[in-house]
Chains A and B, each alone.
Chain A
Amino acid sequence: MTNTNDLGFTILSLVVFLPAVGAIILAFMRGQRGAARIFALGWSTLVFAVSLPILFNFKHDAAGLQFYEYFNWIPDWGVRYELGLDGISLWLVLLTTFVTPLAIWSAWNVEEKTNNFLMLILLQEMGMLGVFLAQDLFLFYIFWEFTLIPMYFLIGIWGGKRRIYATVKFFLYTFAASVFMLIGIIALGLLNYKYLAQQGLPTDTAFQVQTLMANINQFGLSDTELKLLFLSFFVAFAVKVPLWPVHTWLPDAHVEAPTAGSVILAAVLLKMGGYGMIRFCVQLFPQIAQEWARPIALLAVIGIIYGAVLSYAQSDIKKLVAYSSVSHMGFIVLGIFALNEVGLQGAVLQMINHGLSTGALFLLIGMVYERTHTRELADYGGLWKVVPVFVYFLLFATMASVGLPGLNGFVGEFLIMLGAFDSPIGWTFTAFAAVGVILAAVYLLKMFQGIASGPFSERRTPHLSDLNRREVAILLPLCILMLVIGLYSAYFTRPMETTIKALEAFVANAAPLIAGQ
């Protein structure tokens, strides 16, 4: 394995596969539920600790991939094992390692097949980290599809009443969308292989993203072929984000998933779609991304409004938050296809923000559901008086999600709209997106009011007790981060600045190519 970082060891591989090692150890801890829980929490915290040196050794002013490591995996096919990280993936990796221990800690009350549950969460973590770090299309696809397996079981075994329907829909929907990406990957890999062979260059990097970025204009592809290739990737990512109108798996999956599953799904899994759009759709096909920025932005804006309206119409709290994800993820797509520095920065930052605030909301809903066993908004009311600590946290997470200035959501949405306004997408779409922000306040405050104020009913929401220390300890780190990002977002945007500037320049320079052809 060739390693190019200063740390002296292949830190990215370590971070990716450490969770899998933990899962294997857990397999040998059968029958020791308590010990397994503590071990899983400790181990995932260790993974987080191991991932921190990446942040501290990350060079802010370097544009390319850092901590780059590779070995020739399947030379015959032109496939390499390649991991690398830049300003775009940095925070997503850290978000993953940060959220996983919290999700594990939130699953303290899972009594059934605890070991398997914890193993699957760790395997899920491995898959997601691999997605954010893989720099070879084949490797990326393996991790991308692998993330389906643990989540499929998490929803299917530990989920709610309609879990089987939800999990099969989740799997088939995303699997069906992803296989077209496989065709795109095969086509690109073969074209690159032929091109490299023709140029007398080594062919073992045929599937490498960097090589493809450099060579794709030399393949002599027609406009239509490029568009089809773009689509093959875009559809897979659009389903994952999920973009309207391919979002329908999300509410089912979210509602039926166990709390820890919902948290991981909302906080990290959806971000894989946004990340993929930046890394592959924009980086490999900058011309098409520019040409189609407006139609895609239209879908994003429809998603923002549609998700918001449906969210308002829900009587089930978890479904309400699930539809709010559709709306919020629309902003992220809008920011990406602004294709300028501000919009992209906002999009990446908003991915983190959404991960934190929606993750917190799902945690809170899970905590109250464990006590009351109802998710009907109509059953709630007056919790302000009964469980004040819970309500404080709910207020905080709601406000962050609404986009109150001073908290994280505001910064991300502001940057996105600024970027979109300043791009060819233009002010009309941005104006509609702004309506989405107002609607977010409407439906989220409806939820908050419905839960916190009004008369309290002991009969419909019995056995309420306030958050215990463990639950506070889970929520506190999330809330602190929301506040820190809201007050000092520069710390988070600075590491990605160089990468995103380079990306913006790359996209801008790609434009004449299409005009000249």
Chain B
Amino acid sequence: MNDLTFITPEINWTVLGMPAFLMIWAMLVLIVDMFTSDRRILLTLSLIGLGVTAALGALDYGATISGFSDMLVFDKFGVLVNWILLAGTALTLLIAFDYMPRQNLSQGEFYPLVLFATSGMLFLVQSTDLVTIFIGVETLSIALYVLTGFAVPQFKSGEAAIKYLLLGGFAAGFLVYGIALIYGMTGKTNLAQIAAELSTWQSTGRALDDPILLAGVGFVLIALGFKVSMFPFHAWTPDVYEGAPTPVTAYMSVATKGAAFAAMLRFLNVAFPALKPEWQLLFGLFAAATMAYGNIVAVAQSNLKRMLAYSSIAHAGYMLLGVLAASEKGISAFTVYLLAYTLTNLGAFAVLIALENRGMPVFELSDLRGLGKRSPLLALAMTVFMFSLAGVPPTAGFASKFGIFRAAWDANLDYLAIIGVVTSVISAFFYLRVIVTMWMRDAEATEPQPTYATASLSFGVIVAVIGIIAVGILPNIFTDLAKALVLTVAP
């Protein structure tokens, strides 16, 4: 193939199907929104769109098809991560359904915006080229900038949006610059071709630790590390999470993270297996710092949303272990972890949403006092979520942590596994504090705050709880699925 001739790519609908369908469907929802103000129609339409997108993945599940000059791939790993993202999106919409009008945020654009962001994520997950990775990252980011500022009359929401936009812009700059440097050194943007190019370097005796190449890799990872809130690129996380409307925070904390991690996995394992010792060492330190920082700082938080923000930083550290293990075990453990974390974190935020009053966000830890008496079922669900985040059996949080630590240990990253369990103990401290407050401390004398456990939200919470227990008791359902997919990522 001659690199200089322009080849009109053949459009392969199987490869592009999931993101493309969701994008078109989102536009459709946007149009429908002009004619109706009935939120139920928008929600139903959105959920149907997500379902059909998931079904598109199931049609050719198991196949590995590459398309668009190998810029996108349809493989088991991609489909599986996409399913988790779609499930997370569906849960987000369910828990946001009653929240948005309650906060006087009744604009219908919310649904298509979330779908746009998800579509970008699906695209990112399937990307096997630096250019498509960039497109994916930007597609999801632009929608998220808007969503972060969705509650714009509130000062904090606007502040969060600006902060996220500015820092996100910097991250995008890093990403492009990194891509440029890598292209400059290798002449390729395709991940597999970069790997091939590097192996010819190796065979001709050219040194791989070229500073420009390393800088390029580093810049791309900074951008992706920003998206997953990896230490030390996490600084935006608490402020943005606190300011954004709660369902958006919930959505960002799981979906963005999942998609960016999937891209990171492909980037490191497909393009740069040759530099594995280097990135394993450097990112090992980052992972350790992320786990330690997130968990230790979370201990000091009294604001629940900020606590969950720091906890999500910590969980990024755990997921990073799966990425770093760079093995079958690691990749399968990563997907299990992503699923468990998606269900758990969305559930936890759903409980916060059920407690949030209009105009006066109820997010201090003390606001949970006596919840066990006021609404025991909600408190019970929150208990399950907290135990799962802490990694206590028999929840999904434990099974997935077990898989992650096992993969890390197997990849000779034993020091990371040990740091992982030590920080898990620290995390148990603040997750337990939530449980203590709900069940063991009585409400203050003031009038109890009402709770808004509406039908759609309750449905979302119940799905999350059942999913957590199911993955916790029968992780084999999912590990079996995740087992077969891994080889397509690292050829």
Contacts and interface: CB of A to CB of B under 8 A. Distances in A.
B405 interface: yes
Interface in A440-461: none
Interface in A140-157: 141-143, 145-146, 148-149, 152-153, 156-157
A142 B393 contact: yes
A156 B410 contact: no
Given A168-B432, A179-B421, A73 B409 contact: no
Interface in B1-52: none
Nearest to A144: B393
B475 interface: yes
A74 B479 contact: yes
Interface in A162-183: 163-164, 167-168, 171-172, 175-176, 179-180, 182-183
Contact of A179 (B414, B424, B483): B424
Nearest to B391: A179
A143 B392 CA distance: 10
A75 interface: yes
A179 B422 contact: yes
Contacts of B452: none
Contacts of A167: 436, 440
Interface residues of B, number: 33
A156 B436 contact: yes
Nearest to B333: A77
Contact of A172 (B332, B418, B429, B474): B429
A299 interface: no
A422 B431 CA distance: 49
Interface in B398-430: 398, 402-403, 405-406, 409-410, 414, 417-418, 421-422, 424-425, 428-429
B483 A76 contact: yes
Given A75-B476, A145-B393, A190-B409, A168 B422 contact: no
Contacts of B479: 74, 76-77
Contact of B409 (A142, A149, A171, A186): A186
Given A75-B476, A145-B398, A146-B393, A183 B441 contact: no
A156 B372 CA distance: 13
A141 B405 CA distance: 15
A148 B440 contact: no
A164 to B, nearest CB: 5
Interface string B422-461: 1011001100110010011100000000000000000000
A157 B441 CA distance: 9
A186 B417 contact: yes
Contact of B392 (A75, A149, A168): A149
A77 B403 contact: yes
A84 interface: no
Contacts of A76: 332, 476, 479-480, 483
Given A76-B483, A175-B428, A179-B425, A189 B406 contact: yes
B421 A182 contact: yes
Contact of A157 (B394, B421, B433, B439): B439
A187 interface: yes
A440 to B, nearest CB: 35
Given A145-B398, A149-B387, A190-B409, A183 B417 contact: yes
Interface majority SS (helix, strand, loop, mixed), chain A: helix
Contacts of B394: 142, 146
B476 A182 contact: no
A285 interface: no
Nearest to B475: A74
Contacts of B476: 73-76
A146 B392 CA distance: 7
A341 B476 CA distance: 41
A77 B479 CA distance: 9
A175 B425 contact: yes
Contact of B436 (A146, A164, A190): A164
Contact of B402 (A138, A157, A175): A138
Contacts of A145: 392-393, 398
A146 B410 CA distance: 26
Interface string A481-513: 000000000000000000000000000000000
Contacts of A190: 406, 409-410
A171 B387 CA distance: 12
Contact of A163 (B429, B440, B474, B475): B440
B392 A182 contact: no
Given A76-B479, A145-B393, A179-B425, A164 B403 contact: no
Give the most central of A146, A156, A179, A190: most B CB within 10 Å: A179
B421 A180 contact: yes
Contacts of B474: 73
Given A142-B393, A190-B409, A168 B483 contact: no
Sorting the interface of chain A by its residue count into under 10, 10 to 19, 20 to 34 or 35 or more gives 20 to 34
A61 to B, nearest CB: 36
Nearest to A171: B432
Interface string A39-80: 000000000000000000000000000000000011111000
Tell which of A149, A157, A180 has the most Cβ of chain B within 10 Å.
Answer: A149
B432 to A, nearest CB: 6
A177 B141 CA distance: 42
Contacts of A153: 439
Nearest to A156: B440
Contacts of A75: 476
Contacts of B410: 190
B140 to A, nearest CB: 31
Contacts of A152: 432
A152 B410 CA distance: 33
Nearest to B408: A186
Nearest to B403: A77
A176 B421 CA distance: 9
B180 to A, nearest CB: 41
Contacts of A74: 475-476, 479
A129 to B, nearest CB: 15
A182 B410 CA distance: 14
Given A74-B475, A75-B476, A179-B424, A172 B432 contact: yes
Contacts of B403: 77
Given A73-B476, A172-B425, A183 B392 contact: no
Contacts of B332: 76
A183 B440 contact: no
Contacts of B392: 145-146, 148-149, 175
Contacts of B475: 74, 77
B402 A182 contact: yes
A181 B472 CA distance: 19
B237 to A, nearest CB: 26
A175 B432 CA distance: 12
Interface in B52-109: none
Nearest to A155: B440
Contacts of A187: 409, 414
Contacts of B432: 152, 168, 171-172
Contacts of A186: 402, 405-406, 409, 417
Most chain B beta-carbon neighbours within 10 Å: one of A148, A163, A172, A175: A175
Interface of B: 332, 387, 392-394, 398, 402-403, 405-406, 409-410, 414, 417-418, 421-422, 424-425, 428-429, 432-433, 436, 439-441, 474-476, 479-480, 483
18 contacts: A74-B475, A74-B476, A76-B476, A141-B393, A143-B393, A148-B392, A152-B432, A153-B439, A156-B440, A157-B439, A163-B440, A164-B440, A167-B436, A168-B432, A168-B433, A171-B428, A180-B421, A187-B414
Q: Which 5 A-B pairs have the closest CB atoms?
A: A179-B421, A142-B393, A74-B476, A176-B425, A76-B479
Interface of A: 73-77, 138, 141-143, 145-146, 148-149, 152-153, 156-157, 163-164, 167-168, 171-172, 175-176, 179-180, 182-183, 186-187, 189-190
Given A175-B425, A187-B409, 14 more contacts: A75-B476, A142-B398, A145-B398, A149-B387, A149-B392, A156-B436, A164-B436, A168-B429, A168-B436, A172-B428, A176-B425, A186-B402, A186-B406, A186-B417
